[in-house]
Amino acid sequence: GQNIDQPTEMTATEGAIVQINCTYQTSGFNGLFWYQQHAGEAPTFLSYNVLDGLEEKGRFSSFLSRSKGYSYLLLKELQMKDSASYLCAVRGFSGGYNKLIFGAGTRLAVHP
């Protein structure tokens, strides 16, 4: 079956670095995505990993280890506007087709 785990909540200080972990079990892994979602708004795409290693995009980096079923999202130089939910989503094979399965999300609160 499909299973995605990430912490429910995290807090961090403005200007600091935070790492949000995601572990997954899936059939036919075909990519891992991170989305940011502010309360009441749509998820916005942050990053995509399909091969092992680190992908860096400005203040955000995402890492993937397929053998460990593990990913993390690293946010540097935190800003207040980074307070949001961060969704880990895995594209896998389920029910006969590829689909995107979302984790429950990690609510990040950034405080001054």
Partner 1 sequence: DTEVTQTPKHLVMGMTNKKSLKCEQHMGHRAMYWYKQKAKKPPELMFVYSYEKLSINESVPSRFSPECPNSSLLNLHLHALQPEDSALYLCASSQDAVRSETQYFGPGTRLLVL
Calculate the CA dihedral of residues 102, 20, 45, 33 and round it to 10 degrees.
-50
User: Nearer to partner 1 by C-beta: 69 or 105?
Assistant: 105
Question: Measured between alpha carbons, how far is 30 from 91 in angstroms, rounded to an integer?
Answer: 5
Any contact of residue 31 with partner 1 (CB under 8 A)?
Answer: yes
Query: Which residue type sits at 34?
Result: W
Any contact of residue 91 with partner 1 (CB under 8 A)?
Answer: yes
Judged by CB under 8 A, the residue of 16, 80, 104, 109 near partner 1 is 104
Site for partner 1 in 34-53 (CB under 8 A): 35, 40-45, 48, 50
Judged by CB under 8 A, the residue of 18, 20, 64, 87 near partner 1 is 87
Phi/psi of residue 82, each to 5°?
Answer: -80, -5
